[in-house]
Structure 1
């Protein structure tokens, strides 16, 4: 199960809505080994595409150095789908190379500023997709 604060949940959804019609992407980092998402890190979709996301390689290198310096790891890797449901595509599965991470997808297919959206979380390990429950809390205990 993914447990996430309301503030982080809202930041991910807001980023997905703001970047629509292009896919949004980013990371939520947490202390190494904790499994607790704490630091929201929106990234630029270098592909600037409504059907594909790609982290800029220089930004990604900078991110991993920063995570290493702060004893953090990517707890959530998120992106949006702008025209389809919030379910990992074959491309998403191919690029899922963090077996400990939660892969969050937000669908903005029915997009408007206050309209409905899907927020779903998955574990993707060795090409196997497993959906997990999402629990939104005001703060961590």
Structure 2
């Protein structure tokens, strides 16, 4: 199960909507070993694509150095799908390199004309995708 604050959910959704029609991507870092997502880190989609996301290698290296200096780890890796449901694609699964992370997907596809979105979380380990419940709280 993934527990997120409402503020973090709002930040992820706002980033996904802002970058639409391209996919948005980012990380939520947290204190190492706690599994608690705390620090929102929006990233640039280097692919600048509506169907694919890619972290810029320089930005990613900087982020990992920063997390190391702060004794943090990537608790959530998120990205958006702009025209499909919030479910990991084969490419998403093949690129999932953080076995302890929660993979959050937001779909900004307007499936019902109301501008709604899907917000789902998954664990992806050794190519196996498992959806998990998301609990939203005001504060930890």
TM-score of the pair, normalised by structure 1: 0.96
Aligned residues between the structures: 138
Partner of 2:124: 124
Aligned-residue RMSD, C-alpha: 0.9
Alignment deviations for residues 33-91 of structure 1 (CA, whole Å, 9 cap, x no partner): 00000000000000000000000000000000000000000000000000000000000
Partner of 1:80: 80
Which consecutive unaligned segments of at least 5 residues does structure 1 have? none
Partner of 1:69: 69
- In 1, distance between residues paired with 2:69 and 2:96? 23
SS at match of 2:59: helix
Partner of 2:97: 97
- The answer to whether structure 1 residue 48 and structure 2 residue 48 are counterparts is yes
- In 2, distance between residues paired with 1:45 and 1:115? 22
- In 1, distance between residues paired with 2:132 and 2:50? 25
TM-score of the pair, normalised by structure 2: 0.97
SS at match of 1:110: coil
Q: How does 1:11-30 map to 2 (within 5 A)?
A: 11-30=11-30
